[in-house]
Amino acid sequence: MSVVLSVVENKLLSLPVPVRLVMPDGQKLGAPNADVCLMIKDRSTLASLVGGQVGLLGEDYVEGKFDVEGSMRDLMHLAASILPGSPIEAARIGRLTELIRRLLSVWRHSPERDARQIQFHYDLSDDFYALWLDPLRVYSCAYFSSPDMSIAQAQEAKLDHICRKLRLSAGERFLDVGAGWGGLLLWAAEHYGVDATGITLSKNQHAYVNRLIEEKGLGGRVRMELLDYRKLDESQPYDKIASVGMFEHVGRAQLEAYFSKLRRLVRPGGLVLNHGITAGGVDNAELGAGMGEFIEKYIFPGGELTHISHVLERLTEGGLEDVDIENLRPHYARTLWAWSDALEARLPEARKILQGEQGERSLRAYRMYLAGCAMGFEHGWIALHQVLAQPRTNGRHDELDNPADLSYPWRRDYMYGQKGGVS
């Protein structure tokens, strides 16, 4: 037996999950009755396995260098156990490194590049996403207000959670920045009676939501535009704004300008809710062990992680005041496992939709992405924060009397009371 195989076999003995390796020549290593079996087709994969380079292992899987038998949950348990250290540990960066990071972020997020990056992800296939998302196609963290909820129920609970936080009421002008397949946009219009505008850079989503608006007869007070947030008209401010799962695509260097834009788009006294993925570590811009590079290459080009402390700094510099902050990290772990389980249950259908060699690579990438992100949220390497904010009041003397033009009543009880709305 070669030295490399000896090292690999010793590595297998130390794993918490029984694992079996089948080599290209048929040689078998590890437990005979393993929960996870890796069929190795390219021996270069062994170096990533021994070194704990989980992201490179993901790339090897996408590129067909090995196959997997076993559940994605067991595979992720294995992945977490081989990491050489915490993927969110990062040394304090110097000024030059920060400058380079900032310049790169600016370069990566021009309107044209953002449009291409969004379309790369969201225009993969509507039918593919429909296989594993809920019926409303809500592609963001759900809210499990009770432990026995299905993913569909939890997504509806999330939509209502956001609407209650924003205190939406009939006739208000509501903006959904990055409206996806229209879940929140239509929920707010149908259940809270708002006049709703949504924007997206995805051509597929734009066409899909406009069909729904027409089918539901909501054309008079709901609209979906194919538009970059930077081009939104500021002449008629909105009463309430939500941005869900979008600011991850903005770029760290653009966050102050992004929040400043939202401030100019909302009326004085209105409310803004920003819902998005945040970094688990203060200084890391992406997950280590190659996981960040994997997501950049196959899933979300241009995505950048930012710790909630930095988010709040940029939000404040943008002229907004945070009034409520909620971390939904465990909810996203559960959401992602629900998506992963749903995709795993429908792999044959997914292969019919994503045909050809490129389709198979995309399917493999999403299998790793969904389960890997579920693992990341479980371990606290990434988080999900909802930040409710209002334009800075600059010390209004009457704000403690809850005047009608100030939407936030400085008490949380309204968010968690009975379901609101007009229906």
C-alpha distance across the termini of the chain, in Å: 70
* pLDDT score of 416 more than 70: yes
pTM of the model: 0.88
* pLDDT score of 75 more than 70: yes
Residue positions counted in the chain: 423
Q: Tell me: the pLDDT tens digits for 325-357?
A: 999 999 999 999 999 999 999 999 999 999 888
Supply 290's token pair. 């190659």
* pLDDT reported for residue 92: 47
* pLDDT score of 290 more than 90: no
* pLDDT reported for residue 270: 97
- Poorest-pLDDT segment among 34-38, 236-240, 286-290: 286-290
CA distance 65 to 37: 14
- Other residues' Cβ atoms within 10 Å of the Cβ of residue 25: 7
Q: Over range 43-72, report the average pLDDT.
A: 88
> Where does the pLDDT of residue 230 fall: very low under 50, low under 70, confident under 90, or very high at 90 and above?
very high
Q: Over range 29-33, report the average pLDDT.
A: 84
Q: Over range 366-370, report the average pLDDT.
A: 92
* pLDDT score of 25 more than 60: yes
Identify which has the larger pLDDT, 107 or 397: 397
> Where does the pLDDT of residue 418 fall: very low under 50, low under 70, confident under 90, or very high at 90 and above?
low
Mean pLDDT, rounded, of the chain: 86
| Percentage above 90 pLDDT, the chain | 56
For the chain, which domains are there? 3-82 (3.30.1050.10), 108-415 (3.40.50.150)
| Percentage above 70 pLDDT, the chain | 84
Reply yes or no on whether 141 is catalytic: no
> Where does the pLDDT of residue 106 fall: very low under 50, low under 70, confident under 90, or very high at 90 and above?
very low
> Where does the pLDDT of residue 107 fall: very low under 50, low under 70, confident under 90, or very high at 90 and above?
very low
Identify which has the larger pLDDT, 362 or 92: 362
> Where does the pLDDT of residue 199 fall: very low under 50, low under 70, confident under 90, or very high at 90 and above?
very high
The active-site residue out of 37, 141, 163, 373 is 373
* pLDDT score of 149 more than 80: yes
* pLDDT reported for residue 82: 80
